[in-house]
Structure 1
Amino acid sequence: MSKQIYLNLAVKDLKKSMDFFKALGYRFNAEYTNDDGACMVVESNIYVMLLREDFFRTFTDRQPCDLRTHVEALTALTEDSREAVDRQVARAVAAGGRALGEPKDYGFMYSHSFEDLDGHIWELLHMSAAQAE
C-alpha cells in the first residue's frame, strides 16, 4: 500500500470552507464527509480534512492557534505552471480568501500565497527543473 497524507485543519464554518475550496476546483470524497468534517481530495494520495473546530479539538489536548496572530503551518502545493499559480490565487481571492504579498520569482521557482477563510496559509509554486540547473 502506498502512503497517504491527510492534513487536518480546523475550520469555523464547514460549509463555507467546502464552498471556498470547491471554487478553487477541489472535490470532496463523500464517503469521508459528514457534518463534522469533509475530506478534500488534492491528489490520489493527498487529502485535507476540514474539521469543525469543536470536532478538531477531540483529536488533541492542545488548543488550536489563533491564525490571526500565529502560523500553524505553511502548506505548499505545486502547480503545473506560473499561470496556474496566478489563476489559483485569483480564484482564492474571488472566493473570499486573501492574497499574501506579491508573487515571488526565484528563477527556478515561482510562488504566490493565499490565506483561506480561516487564516490557513497556502503557498502555491511552480518549479522548473531546467532553470534550476
Structure 2
Amino acid sequence: MTSIFVNIPTNDLERSVAFYRALGCAINPNFTDENAACVVWSHDIFFMVLRREFFATFTDKPIGEPKEWAQVSLSFTRDSRADVDAIVEAGVAAGGTEPHPAQDYGFMYSRDLDDPDGNSLGFLYMDPVAAEQGPPAETA
C-alpha cells in the first residue's frame, strides 16, 4: 500500500487549515504544529501544509509563488457532478478562487479551485463507463 503526502507552502497556516477544513478535510493533530498542518483527504492521501520558511528547509531550490507559477496541479475525483460543485463552492466561500469556468465534456465534468495561497486543485467527476473504457470516440 502506498500513501501520498503532498507538501505545499503557505503564507498563513491558520488560514490554510480553515480553508481545508471547509472542504471537508480533517487535520491530523499528530503531525500538526506551529510550522505545519497535516490535511487528511483520505486514508492514503495527505497534504502537509507548511509555512513557507519551514518548507524551505526541505530543499535547496527556491520556493515558487503559487499565485504566479504553477508547479503542480492536483486533481481529485468526486462521486458526482453535484459533489464537484459542492466542494468548489465551499472552497470559494472559504477564501479560494475558481480560476476559470467548469469544463464539461459530457463524459467528464471538472472544476478547478485555487486555495488562498494559489495552490491549484482540480475536482472531477467521470462517467464510470468512460473511466473504465476510455472516453467516447467522438471526444477522444
Q: TM-score, normalising length from structure 1?
A: 0.95
Are 2:11 and 1:30 equivalent residues in the alignment? no
Distance 1:88 1:68 in 2: 20
SS at 1:43's partner residue? coil
Contact 2:28 2:38 in 1 (8 A): yes
SS at 1:55's partner residue? helix
Distance 1:27 1:37 in 2: 14
Partner residue in 2 for 1:18: 17
Q: Which runs of 5+ in 2 are unaligned?
A: none
Q: Match for 2:115: what amino acid? A: D
Contact 2:36 2:51 in 1 (8 A): yes
Please list, as runs of the form range in 1=range in 2, the aligned pairs for 1:1-133 lying within 5 A after superposition: 2-131=1-130, 132=135
Deviation at residue 127 of structure 1 after TM alignment: 0.9
Q: Spell out, residue by residue over 1:7-57, the C-alpha distance to the aligned partner (whole angstroms, 9 max, x if none).
A: 000111111100011111110111111111011111101100000000000
Distance 1:98 1:68 in 2: 11
Q: Spell out, residue by residue over 1:64-96, the C-alpha distance to the aligned partner (whole angstroms, 9 max, x if none).
A: 112232101111011110011011111011001
SS at 1:88's partner residue? helix
Misfit runs of 4+, over 6 Å: none
Distance 2:119 2:87 in 1: 15
Contact 2:39 2:49 in 1 (8 A): yes
Greater strand fraction, Structure 1 or Structure 2: 1
Distance 1:69 1:93 in 2: 19
Deviation at residue 108 of structure 1 after TM alignment: 1.7
In percent, how many aligned pairs have the same letter?
Answer: 36
Distance 1:19 1:86 in 2: 19
Q: TM-score, normalising length from structure 2?
A: 0.90
Distance 1:3 1:93 in 2: 31
- When the two chains are superposed, the root-mean-square deviation of aligned CA atoms in Å is 1.1
Distance 2:67 2:13 in 1: 19
